[in-house]
Amino acid sequence: PLSFKSYVSMAKVRVLNATPEMKALDEKFKDDPQKLQMAKMGIYREMGASMFGGCLPMLLSYPFLIALFFFFPQAVELRHESFLWATDLSTYDSILKLPFDIPMYGDHVSLFTLLMAASTLVYVYYQQQSQPMTGTNSQFRYIAYITPIFLLVFLNNYASGLSLYYLTSNLLQIS
């Protein structure tokens, strides 16, 4: 339900950004991004859309996300439960043992984590394509591409069930 409200809010903003009025504002204030944002926020307020309506539901879901980080490695139900190539969903799914240790990454490669990072990159790409580029968000565009790399590094040694959850979630969001 939280994701649905977030998607509805983002869809409203996306539809409003495609209107001729918004394009006229983009042209009028192309040299002053701050005035452009203020004018757009006024139109969003008039039309009942919120730029932050997509963020608030996401923030409310973070406690559940943090709970999942603690749940997957400690879940007795997942111990020695296999799925596809993973023999134990409560620990990492090593498909390749490295002859050396990479700091913070480990000495193995987890396929669910690789697939999750790839699906996150695809999801970020499609999200970036659906948003108009303005002066303020063009700087943050690249930060979203760094996030999958951090997830790849930090989740490589984590429970494969969590990476599988992220992968499934990303695939559902992309489709």
Average the pLDDT over 91-100 and give the result: 84
Is residue 135's pLDDT more than 60?
A: no
Report the alpha-carbon distance of residue 127 to residue 130 in Å, rounded: 5
Q: What is the CA radius of gyration of the chain?
A: 20
Name the percent of the chain lying above pLDDT 70: 86
Report the alpha-carbon distance of residue 70 to residue 72 in Å, rounded: 6
Token code pair at residue 107: 């000495």
Alpha helices for 30-89 (secondary structure H) = 33-47, 55-74
Is residue 137's pLDDT more than 60?
A: no
Element (H, E) at 15: helix 2-17
- Per-residue pLDDT, 81: 75
Is residue 158's pLDDT more than 80?
A: yes
pTM confidence score: 0.66
Report the alpha-carbon distance of residue 57 to residue 7 in Å, rounded: 10
pLDDT band at 2 (very low <50, low <70, confident <90, very high): low
Greatest C-alpha distance within the chain: 61
Report the alpha-carbon distance of residue 13 to residue 52 in Å, rounded: 10
Identify the CA nearest to 53 among candidates 108, 11, 22, 96.
Answer: 11
Mean pLDDT for all residues in the chain? 79
Span 23-82, pLDDT tens digits: 888 888 878 888 888 888 888 888 777 666 666 666 777 788 888 888 877 777 777 777
Range in 7-11, 60-64, 125-129, 158-162 the model is least confident about: 7-11
Q: Which residues pair with 94 in a beta bridge?
A: 110
pLDDT band at 118 (very low <50, low <70, confident <90, very high): very high
* Side chain identity, residue 166: Y
DSSP per-residue codes, 79-92: TT--BTTBS-TTS-
Name the percent of the chain lying above pLDDT 90: 3
- Per-residue pLDDT, 106: 82
- Per-residue pLDDT, 156: 86
